[in-house]
Amino acid sequence: MEQLLDDALKIKSLEIQGATNVAISAIDFLSNYAKRLKCENIETCFKKLYDAQVILIDTRPTEPAMKNGLKYIMNKLEQEKESIIPEYISDIIEKYKNLYYDMLQNSKKRIAEIGARRFPPTSQKFNVMTHCHSSLVTGIFLEAKRQGKSFKVINTETQPRLQGRKTSQELLKAGIKVIHVIDSAMRWAVKHYQVDIIIIGADSITSEGTIINKIGSRLLALVAHEEHVPFYVASPLLKYNPETNLGILETIEMRDPQEIWENPPEGIKILNPAFETVSRRYIDGLITEAGIFASSHVPNYFAKTYPEMV
């Protein structure tokens, strides 16, 4: 359990970033934990695994891709519970971990292919903007580059943890032109560089089509609305939270104030919300492995694409 707690801290401390990376790491941590388990009977095994699931889910309240992955594995185990021999439970978990990993990777590849179609042929000048770091969004940019399309990316530094730097580094390494701006220069950048399209990622999608992403995302959506710039969200359907269909509200994670100010003057209250919502009214389309559609249609597409998770 001590090793699992150390692993969980890597997610909680943001050592591991990006919703897809968090999901992959969490199911990997559960699988590794199962390999270390020594159980007298299957009931004890399941209790310990469910405890581990809770520990991992609690690291990041706003990560449905992680929750869906852990629940997928545990649901599959429940279906085979009567026939499982405790000493082989880790092998079964490894099998379903790999299946979920393949789902994420296949969806990522498909989203990159679909998203890259929004970029015009090489002969046209094209400026795209993004916020924070999303492996799915960078995947779209890399696929467009691979196809020989010419474009420039404007990205934000993303306070307070500066995840935008990771985006810049990945794109520069691939030979993509990047302009890096401070978060408060979002509107200026959209106007000054005549941005043609904005694409951001998502940490969660609700049943109403609202997306939850890094703080600053709604500001960029409002800028896009004001300037008549198409605003897209790239996300696998696995980031849909089915619980929101039952009236349960997504939690906005409040992070450590010291991320903003390490030694503030006494008496000041510092708030550090990590995420915010973007209403479906500001989203022109959701780019998913099932295609591009209005974000409000997510529940139907999720049920069709992943019926075993409904």
Catalytic residue IDs: 132, 203
- Nearest by Cα to 189 from 234, 219, 233: 219
Looking from the CA of 164 toward its CB, the CA atoms found within 13 Å total 25
CA angle 32, 240, 147 (to 5 degrees): 85
Helix (H/G/I), strand (E/B), else coil: 180: strand
CA 220 to each of CA 184, 190, 299: distance values in angstroms, whole numbers, following the listed order: 10, 9, 25
- Nearest by Cα to 111 from 22, 281, 238: 238
| Token code pair at residue 185 | 């220069």
Total Cβ atoms within 10 A of residue 48? 17
Residue for token pair 């005549």: 194
d(CA 63, CA 238): 10
